[in-house]
Structure 1
Amino acid sequence: MNDSKDFEIHYQFHGEPRHFSHQANHLCESQALHFATLHAGVGTLDGNICAGPLRLAMLYAEGLGVTKVQWKRT
């Protein structure tokens, strides 16, 4: 049985608004940051930023140009 839920992630990449849909069982702030960097094309699968503290993940994402990440269940 698939318990996946639909989420919508909004962020800015170098000031330009972007968004996408994502399916997962659950989602947290650091995972949303990670998926936003992947969607923007600046993150890597092997450098998963959600493995560390949230503040470091936010600083890393901001350094890549990804800011104002927000997510919600749809």
Structure 2
Amino acid sequence: MPAPQLYIIDYRLHNEPRSFIIRLEGLDSAQAWHWASCDAGVGIIPKFGREKIRKISRPMAERYGITEVQWRVSGERVGAGV
């Protein structure tokens, strides 16, 4: 099992820049959109690691004004993961 890493997720909410750090074992673009939605107050954060919740997709997030989601491992340059 991979060790958790710190990821930085940058996004825009109604054209205002936002950024946050999250610790996860792995991250991909779909997950980044979901976590950006959670940070914006749209998505649901699971109470337990195994809890099954409906993840917010990119089209749904865009309906709420979330755009330009980018992510990277903490310590890497901007644009490393998209």
TM range (shorter): 0.7 to 0.9
Q: C-alpha root-mean-square deviation of aligned residues, in Å?
A: 1.7
CA distance in 1, matches of 2:67, 2:31: 14
**Which blocks of at least 5 consecutive residues in structure 1 are unaligned?**
50-56
In structure 2, the partner of 1:29 is 29
Which one has a larger percent helix, Structure 1 or Structure 2?
Answer: 1
CA distance in 1, matches of 2:31, 2:73: 14
Residue 48 of structure 1 and its aligned partner are, at CA, apart by 1.2
Q: How many residues align?
A: 67
Give every structure 1 segment of 4 or more consecutive aligned residues whose post-TM-superposition deviation is greater than 3 Å.
Answer: none
TM-score by length of 1: 0.82
TM-score (structure 2 length as normaliser): 0.74
2:26 is paired with a residue whose SS is: coil
Within a 5 Å distance, the mapping from 1:14-53 to structure 2 comes to 14-45=14-45, 46-49=53-56
Structure 2: tracts of 5 or more residues without a match: 46-52, 75-82
Q: CA deviation at 1:44?
A: 2.3
Hey, what's the Cα distance between the residues in 1 that align with 2:58 and 2:55? 12
Identity of aligned residues (%): 37
Match of 2:80 in 1: none
* Greater Rg over alpha carbons, structure: 2
